[in-house]
Amino acid sequence: LCIVLLTDPSRHILLFVPSSGRHFYLAVDRLQFKMRTLLELLGVVADRRGALPIAICVSSRDELDTVCAAVANLPFVSLSPLYSDQAEAERASVIEKFRQSAIQWNQTKDADISESPKAESMASKLSILVATDACLPMAAMGEAPLLARVLINYELPTKKEAYLRRMSACLAADGIVINMVVGGEVATLKGLEETSGLLIA
């Protein structure tokens, strides 16, 4: 197990990365550090992998508004929120725009940027879509998945069905999931692991 310290050790914020698999969790010991931790994580990713397509899932409209308000202020982010009251044409446009950016990134991810990694990250912004569960693409309606490289569960779903649906609706085949957990939510995470059969380390 590789443990990467993201910020001030006094805040006990750790990213736990299993040696195999693609489900990680980011543990924050206090709720007031959660948003700051998300913004720091996005900053680290932007510095290394410009234009990376990221989906952030939340459970409520209030939390969606809070996340969007904070992330929109980041200069290295191109933000696309999905709201339940969006017109159908606008919703379809947001989803398709994000999917196209994800497809483009997936096609170029293996390009050799070793000579100038900073130039690549500075030239491109992270492509971020924020959505509640109710707004995610629905396979039953013929909607294709978002193909994000990273899914961040800013709010942890409590049921395995919601967890698996977020994965199927958001992720590319080899994408990763980062679950943000606070305090006692670690028990909820372990419950999801047991009921879903996934390794979340």
pLDDT tens-digit readout, 85-97: 889 999 999 999 9
pLDDT surpasses 50 at 4: no
pLDDT surpasses 80 at 182: yes
Q: Is 21 left (phi over 0), alpha (psi -120 to 50) or beta?
A: left
Output 126 or 183, whichever has higher pLDDT: 126
Residue 22 maps to which CATH number? Answer: 3.40.50.300
Task: At 69, list the tokens.
Answer: 């308000």
pLDDT surpasses 90 at 111: no
Query: Residue 188 corresponds to which amino acid?
Result: T
Q: Could you tell me the CA-to-CA distances from 161 to 31, 33, 57, 66 in Å, in that order? A: 25, 28, 14, 25
Residue 161 included in any domain: yes
Least confident of 4-18, 96-110, 176-190: 4-18
Q: With bands split at pLDDT 50, 70 and 90, how would you rate the model's confidence at 16?
A: very low
Residue 114 included in any domain: no
Domain around 189: 2-109+119-196
How much is the pTM?
Answer: 0.82
SS3 category, 11:
helix
pLDDT surpasses 60 at 19: no
The C-alpha R_g of the chain, in whole angstroms, comes to 16
First to last CA, the chain: 8
Q: With bands split at pLDDT 50, 70 and 90, how would you rate the model's confidence at 29?
A: confident
pLDDT surpasses 90 at 80: yes
Tell me which residue of 18, 73, 63 sits closest to 189, measured CA to CA. 18
Mean pLDDT score across all residues of the chain: 81
Residue 201 included in any domain: no
Q: How far apart are CA 61 and CA 117, in angstroms?
A: 36
Number of domains in the chain: 1
To which H or E segment does residue 99 belong?
A: helix 88-108
Q: Give the CB-side neighbour count of residue 134, counting CA atoms within 13 A.
A: 8
pLDDT of residue 50: 75
Tell me which residue of 17, 53, 9 sits closest to 33, measured CA to CA. 9
Residue with tokens 């006692």: 184
Residue 140 included in any domain: yes
